[in-house]
Each structure stands twice: as C-alpha cells, then as structure tokens.
Amino acid sequence: MMIVNALPSLEAWSRLFCQLEVPILRESAVALAAMIEDEDRASPIAIGRLAQADPLLTLRILALAARHRSRRAVTDTETAVTGVVMMGLGRFFDDFRSPTVVEDLLADDPEALAGLQQVIDRGFRAAGFALGFAVHRLDTDAEVIQEAAMLHDFAEMLLWCRAPALARRIRDRQAADPALRSAQAQLEVLNIRLHDLQRALMQAWHLPELLAQITDRDHLDNPQVRNVVLAVDIARHTQFGWDNPAVPDDLTEIGRLLNLTPESARRKVMGLDA
C-alpha cells in the first residue's frame, strides 16, 4: 500500500503505520531465507550482523521482540541480537518467511529508493559517530547508543517506503528554500512532524525505553541523548561535504561532550569518518 495524500492527524498516521508491515532490504530477505533453509547458517549473532546493515530489519526485530516479551520480563530487549535471543530462532523466523521487501515496494520508483538509501546512509554514519563518542566516554550502553543513532530517523525511512511522493515534496520544498526547517516542511506537507510520529510509533510498538529516551531531543541534559543527537547532527550537516556553516557549532558541542577542544573534536570526528 502506498500513501498518496497526507492524513489529517498524528493519530491517523500512527494507526496506519501500525497496520502496515515494516519492509526490509532485499539483501536481508535473501540472507534470512538462506538461514531458514539451512539452520547451520542461523544464529542471533548472524542475524544481528544483518540488522547492523539494515535499520528497517532492526526496527522490525525490536517491535517483534516487544510483542513476544514475557510479562515477567523485568528489562526491555534493547538490541536486535538480544531480541532474537529472547524470542528464539523458531519464533523469529515465523515472522520472516515472506517479508515485504523494500526494493519490491519501490520497484517503479528508483528516485524514492535513492531517497531512502540516502537516509539509511546518513544513519550509518551517525551510528559510527555515536559509537565512537560513546566509547570515548566509556559509556556501558555504547551498543544501544549506536543502534539509537542508526534508527534516529526511522520515520523518515518509513515515509520513503510508504509515501514516497510526500517524502519527495518535503525534500523539494527544503531544496527550494534552504532556510525552511525540516519540522515546518513536514507540517506543511504531512500535517504532522515526523519526530512526533516516531515517538507515537515507539510507544505503540513498545520499543525499548532506553532507546526511546536517548532519541528524545527534549532531554539534551542527558549525556547519552547529546551523544546521539550530536552524532546525528554532524552526520546530517556533513552528508554532502564539510563546508556546512553548522559544522563549527557541532564540533564545539562535540568537544564539550568529549572534553576536547573544537580542533581535537574535528580530528576525532574526521578519524571516525575515515
């Protein structure tokens, strides 16, 4: 199903996305099919490696694990690997025998596939920065922080998958007016902000509380939140080069987070991006 027209409210958007299957990349679908055929290839670690290369697979695993979590469980399943371990391979594969594949959804719209890939690539860079910052800070939740940065813009990924015409309209408006902020462009085109949709979906899918907390820009006093947000921001601002005027401020804030000078922060970031 493709969404052509904007829905009237956040509730309507959230309800529809909860009804739609989260698609995964073809490479993930092929690898999972091979594991189903040959159990010797299957393990939570192997599936976790696939998830590291496919944020939509990660998202789907976390939502699936939340549905299967025992009421007696005292902690959330915070990563794709622990989600698969908790469910067991049999229950996990039951959900992936005929998954919706992104490349099939967008087979007639290569521009949308390119737009989605751009968001995914940005998420991978953000995840690399976030992990590097977390390791520097000796944060014991480094793996969750890395995953949170990769998933930070998952609502935008889903929009490219299910409403590519609307995603294009947002992109084109911002290209025509560089001063137009993302949230305003989203409101004009979608009647909602993607940040609000993402929070609603995290609640509806019962995604891990820690993941929800450290992707919430309303809590920048938390070092883990700043870690994720600064990683996402520097990845976004340098996606097409390092001459974006926002980069110096990003590096100053990263230096504060890591107790480095802005120049040392630049070297750190450049090293992580190598």
Task: Give the pLDDT score at 77.
Answer: 58
Is 145 inside a domain boundary? yes
Give the 3-state secondary structure of residue 39: helix
Q: Is a pLDDT exceeding 50 seen at residue 72?
A: no
Residues 38 and 146 in one domain: no
Residue 19 banded pLDDT, cuts 50, 70, 90:
very high
Residues 129 and 254 in one domain: yes
Task: Give the pLDDT score at 43.
Answer: 92
Strand partners, 101: 24
Residues 123 and 240 in one domain: yes
Residues 117 and 252 in one domain: yes
Is 10 inside a domain boundary? no
Residue 67 banded pLDDT, cuts 50, 70, 90:
confident
Give the span between the Cα atoms of 124 and 146, in whole angstroms. 9
Is 133 inside a domain boundary? yes
Residues 84 and 144 in one domain: no
| pLDDT tens by residue, 155-194 | 999 999 999 999 999 999 999 998 889 999 999 999 999 9
Residues 178 and 206 in one domain: yes
Is 3 inside a domain boundary? no
Instruction: Please give the mean pLDDT across all residues of the chain.
Output: 92
pTM of the model: 0.92
Residues 123 and 244 in one domain: yes
Q: Is a pLDDT exceeding 70 seen at residue 74?
A: no
Q: Is a pLDDT exceeding 90 seen at residue 132?
A: yes
Residues 149 and 164 in one domain: yes
Residues 172 and 80 in one domain: no
Is 14 inside a domain boundary? no
Per the structure, how many domains does the chain have? 2
Final residue in a domain of this structure, among 45, 73, 102: 102
Give the span between the Cα atoms of 10 and 7, in whole angstroms. 8
DSSP string over 24-89: B-HHHHHHHHHHHH-GGG--HHHHHHHHHT-HHHHHHHHHHHHHH--TT--S---SHHHHHHHH-H
Task: Quote the percentage of the chain above a pLDDT of 70.
Answer: 97
Residue range 208-228: mean pLDDT, rounded: 87
Final residue in a domain of this structure, among 102, 129, 160: 102
CATH of the domain at 177: 1.10.3210.10
Is 15 inside a domain boundary? no
Give the span between the Cα atoms of 198 and 32, in whole angstroms. 27
- Expressed as residue numbers, the domain containing 261 is 108-273
DSSP for residue 219: G
Q: Is a pLDDT exceeding 80 seen at residue 35?
A: yes
Is 165 inside a domain boundary? yes
Q: Is a pLDDT exceeding 60 seen at residue 76?
A: no
Q: Is a pLDDT exceeding 80 seen at residue 69?
A: no
Residues 77 and 180 in one domain: no
Q: What are the contacts of 2-9 at 24+ separation with CB within 8 A?
A: 2/105, 2/162, 2/163, 2/164, 3/162, 3/163, 3/166, 4/163, 4/165, 4/166, 6/166, 6/189, 6/190, 6/191, 7/190, 7/191, 7/192, 8/191, 9/191, 9/192
Task: Quote the percentage of the chain above a pLDDT of 90.
Answer: 78
HSE, side-chain direction, 13 A CA sphere, residue 241: 3
Task: Give the pLDDT score at 122.
Answer: 96
